Amino acid sequence: MSTRRPSVNFEGSRPFGNEAKRVVLDAVQKAAQVMDHPADLINVAIAELIRQGFELPAFSTLDRMSRHIRKAVNDSFFEMVFLRLNSREIQRLEDLLERGESYFSDYNRLENLPKKAKLSEIRDRLDHLAWLTTFGDAEPYIEGIPPAKVNHFADQAKALDAQEMKDFSQEKRITLLLCLIYRGQTKTRDHLGTLFIKRMASLHKAAKQELERLREQHREKTESLVSAFTEVLQALQDYPEDAEAGRLVKEVLATRGRIPDLLDDCEAVTSCQGNNYLPLILKFFRQNHRPILFRLTHSGSIPLLRTGA
């Protein structure tokens, strides 16, 4: 006795025949450019059949058609990418799946990208990006594959171990590796950009706090200088002759200390006026920051290192 489910037939709908199959083919082929899960593709097919007034076939029919079309679309992507590579580049990618001196292969380095950027990992992230760039810029190789599909291929590669990757065809295996490398390069650069912003923000914050501290520290000097200037003005308010004015000013300042010391106080107070804290950043810019921050500023420029060049 057959267990095949009958077609779903709505009153007034057209039978599921060759024309309906072409509708499914066109709809699923278009959707498969950005979708990959069979259930999503089947839903697209059902929606389009209903929209155009066709009866629905057995689920197994749509499932079989959707999987076949998805495979054809994906295979076209795999072949397109594979043809862009030379033999040395292919071998370099294949070597990722082989174990070296340690138990794990380099493939694990692709899978273990941290989810969050931490300031303590700047140097490690820079080293990781340097390693990723030895494969060249992955973007030109996967050009033409929609971003959603690239993410799916990368997720698929990340979920598998090296031995499971070897069970795929070479074209699929290489494409999945390149998608994973591309995402690794992209995310690592994003992490480094975040790290750079955080590091610079911390320097600016420290400089602002230092400016406030200096203002508080120099508050007493400011009050003393204002008091001295007030006494000078009071001595001159009766408009004495120039010689007498000079004598009065000298008398006032003599009670306030040495002229060089007063000038130093003026310079210290002036340096804290306004909101310009930028000159204070250098105080917190430790020497070991310099090479790392320079590497960070140059890390966004990824040269295309063709292994076969």
- Which H, E and C letters describe 91-147, residue by residue? HHHHHCCCECCCCCECHHHHHCCCCCCCHHHHHHHHHHHHHHHHHCCCHHHHCCCCH
Q: What is the mean pLDDT of residues 211-216?
A: 80
Confidence at residue 309, expressed as pLDDT on a 0 to 100 scale: 35
Domain assignment present for 40: yes
CA pair distance 249, 228, nearest whole angstrom: 10
pLDDT of 88 > 60? The answer is yes
pLDDT of 211 > 70? The answer is yes
pLDDT band at 12; cut points 50, 70, 90: low
Residue closest to 63 by CA, chosen among 71, 55, 53? 71
Domain assignment present for 25: yes
Specify the amino acid at residue 267. E
Phi/psi for 71 (5° steps) reads -65, -40
Lowest mean pLDDT among 116-120, 229-233, 252-256: 116-120
Q: Where among 82, 103, 119 does a domain terminate?
A: 82
Confidence at residue 23, expressed as pLDDT on a 0 to 100 scale: 94
> Over the range 240-252, which residues count as b (16 or more CB within 10 Å of their CB) and which as e?
eeeeeeeebeeeb
Q: Indicate whether 169 and 215 sit together in one domain.
A: no
Residue closest to 107 by CA, chosen among 39, 184, 36, 35? 184
Q: Indicate whether 75 and 107 sit together in one domain.
A: no
Q: How many C-beta atoms surround the C-beta of residue 216 within 10 A? A: 10
Q: Which domain holds residue 57?
A: 18-82
- Tokens 């008398």 correspond to 251
**What is the chain's alpha carbon radius of gyration, rounded to the nearest angstrom?**
36
1: its two tokens: 């006795």
> In this predicted model, what pLDDT tens digit does every residue of 39-55 receive, in sequence order?
999 999 999 999 999 99
Q: Indicate whether 192 and 245 sit together in one domain.
A: no
Q: Indicate whether 35 and 22 sit together in one domain.
A: yes
Q: Indicate whether 134 and 225 sit together in one domain.
A: no
Query: How open is the CA angle 288-136-74, to the nearest 5 degrees?
Result: 130
Q: Indicate whether 91 and 58 sit together in one domain.
A: no
> In this predicted model, what pLDDT tens digit does every residue of 102-130 receive, in sequence order?
556 788 877 666 556 566 677 788 888 88
pLDDT of 270 > 50? The answer is yes
pLDDT of 305 > 70? The answer is no
Start-to-end CA distance of the chain, whole Å, equals 64
Q: What is the mean pLDDT of the chain?
A: 81
4: its two tokens: 């095949």
DSSP state for residue 121 in the 8-state scheme: G
